[in-house]
Amino acid sequence: MDWSHYRFRSAWHLDAEPDAVYRVLERPDHYPLWWPQVREVRQTGETSGILRFRSMLPYDLIVTARSTRHDPGNRVLEVAMTGDLEGWVRWTIRAGDRATGTRLEFEQEVVVRKLLMRLLSVPGRPFFIVNHALMMRAGRLGLLARLAADAGHVV
């Protein structure tokens, strides 16, 4: 087993229109406005940029991200990453029924390249997984607040 290899999957149910969710997620340059752990996004090209993340653990992760799929018709966004994390991330937005609103699926498969995390890969793995879960929780809450603000509601 490669202790530096991670696969994550989350499904969020959101009370928002699927196209509204897509419009927020297709703007990574705005992520720092609503996702506290996304500390910086710097665009380097039309479909690429450098992102800096930091969650509960005291280190930053820096990646270069390049859009590999921007599909508004199917509401899928996917990026390839290199740097401290190497792999891919995908958002898939699906319309639900009246009871479930929108189903947002997050998938990520990465290999950690950051030296400190590789050195601590075995004993640190449970902490890295919890750290990621906390980041995703904050992302969901931030996205809900952003969607509500965009719709003119108070959260």
Q: Spell out where 1-144 has E strands.
A: 5-14, 38-45, 48-53, 61-71, 76-83, 85-95, 102-112
What is the number of structural domains in the chain? 1
- State the pairing for strand pair 102-112/85-95: antiparallel
Phi, psi of 24 (to 5 degrees): -70, -45
The predicted structure's pLDDT at residue 51: 98
Could you tell me the CATH number of the domain that includes residue 64? Answer: 3.30.530.20
pTM, two decimals, is: 0.92
Position 155 in a domain: no
The predicted structure's pLDDT at residue 31: 98
Range(s) of the domain holding residue 31: 5-150
The predicted structure's pLDDT at residue 98: 66
pLDDT beneath 70, residues of the chain: 97-100, 153-155
Put the strands of the sheet holding 48-53 in their side by side order. 5-14, 102-112, 85-95, 76-83, 61-71, 48-53, 38-45
